[in-house]
């Protein structure tokens, strides 16, 4: 049996898709929310109008949720460590699949690293790639990357988590999968700024391309494989997140570009990731100009015109 911890939009969507295969438990932190979902058979606040299948059981009971041998961790990146500390004993010995993207602001670690340290008896993996919750929940075709250092467990998870609408590709490169999924959010904010400031599609294409080069520099310096960044968890996710307004990171950047406030209560992982990655890049002496500019824009230390001047006045170089 599979359990999903986290009843936000993405966790609910994964639970809906996985329930095609067999029984699934979806854990919601808020008891009232869990009871409403169980009663109404939908997640009104996050995925209204999409029914929960019969094989999906919603609960706020931790012991019930921890029964699954495979646990999907669909919690925000910046809350992952705290969640794992609370659940550590119940999750020992389980296959834990992180379904969040980003870098922890406090430690600079990715989700697999955090699982390894917080629940050392578990087998960690990460599920990432170009995907929107509404597409998955509606049964639309989606392809994702499953990264697990243990190849045997990776094969098991690939077979277990593939559904009629989710096709999963496998890799052992957890570092590449982590960083691809994290860094593309930073680049999406930058592309959103460009579009919000009406700087044009050509400027967005340039930022995406140079952003991909920046992502690759950081990932390779951290031991990732180039082919991972060229796959779904890197290039694929970058393309989706930088071009669709379903992306919260893109919309957030657009709000900055327009000089407008952003939607209240919406998690924007790229904002925290930019800060964490900028610190890490400085320690490793890696040049990441787009990340630096996004960090300063998010902090309010830089205006749009100055940001563009900073990028366009950089020394000319060979591609």
Measured CA to CA, the distance from residue 92 to residue 97 in angstroms comes to: 13
CA distances from 44 to 29, 259, 262, 289 (A): 16, 31, 22, 41
Q: Extract the tokens encoding 164.
A: 């009629």
Cα–Cα nearest to 110, from 289, 282, 280: 280
Phi, psi for residue 172 in degrees, rounded to 5 = -100, 0
Kindly tell me the burial class for residue 77, based on how many C-beta atoms sit within 10 Å of its own C-beta (0-12, 13-18, 19 or more): buried
Measured CA to CA, the distance from residue 259 to residue 197 in angstroms comes to: 9
Cα–Cα nearest to 116, from 69, 153, 158, 148: 148
Q: Extract the tokens encoding 199.
A: 């700087």
SS3 69: coil
> Which one of 94, 101, 184, 280 is the catalytic residue?
184
SS3 317: coil
| Cβ-contact 179, 110 below 8 angstroms | yes
Annotated catalytic residue 264:
no
Active site residues per annotation: 184
């Amino acid at each position: 049996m599979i359990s999903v911890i986290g009843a936000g939009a993405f966790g609910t969507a994964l639970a809906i898709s996985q329930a095609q295969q067999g029984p699934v438990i979806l854990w919601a932190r808020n008891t009232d929310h869990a009871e409403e979902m169980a009663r109404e058979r939908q997640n009104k606040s996050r995925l209204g109008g999409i029914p929960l299948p019969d094989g999906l059981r919603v609960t706020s009971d931790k012991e019930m949720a921890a029964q699954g041998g495979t646990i999907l961790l669909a919690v925000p990146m910046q809350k992952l460590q705290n969640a794992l500390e609370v659940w550590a004993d119940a999750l020992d010995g389980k296959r834990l699949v992180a379904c969040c993207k980003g870098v922890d602001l406090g430690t600079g670690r990715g989700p697999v690293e955090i699982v390894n340290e917080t629940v050392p008896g578990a087998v960690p993996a990460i599920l990432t790639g170009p995907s929107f919750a509404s597409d998955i929940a509606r049964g639309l075709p989606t392809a994702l990357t499953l990264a697990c250092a243990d190849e045997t467990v990776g094969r098991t998870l690939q077979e277990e988590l593939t559904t009629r609408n989710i096709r999963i590709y496998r890799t052992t490169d957890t570092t590449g999968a982590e960083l691809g999924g994290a860094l593309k959010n930073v680049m999406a904010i930058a592309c959103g700024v460009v579009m919000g400031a009406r700087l044009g599609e050509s400027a967005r294409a340039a930022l995406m391309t140079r952003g991909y080069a920046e992502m690759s520099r950081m990932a390779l310096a951290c031991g990732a494989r180039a082919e991972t960044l060229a796959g779904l968890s890197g290039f694929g996710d970058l393309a989706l997140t930088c071009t669709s307004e379903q992306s919260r990171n893109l919309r957030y950047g657009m709000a900055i570009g327009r000089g407008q406030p952003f939607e209240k209560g919406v998690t924007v992982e790229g904002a925290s990731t930019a800060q964490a990655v900028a610190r890490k890049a400085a320690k490793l002496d890696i040049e990441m100009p787009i990340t630096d500019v996004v960090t300063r824009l998010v902090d309010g230390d830089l205006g749009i015109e100055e940001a563009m001047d900073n990028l366009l006045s950089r020394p000319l170089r060979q591609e």
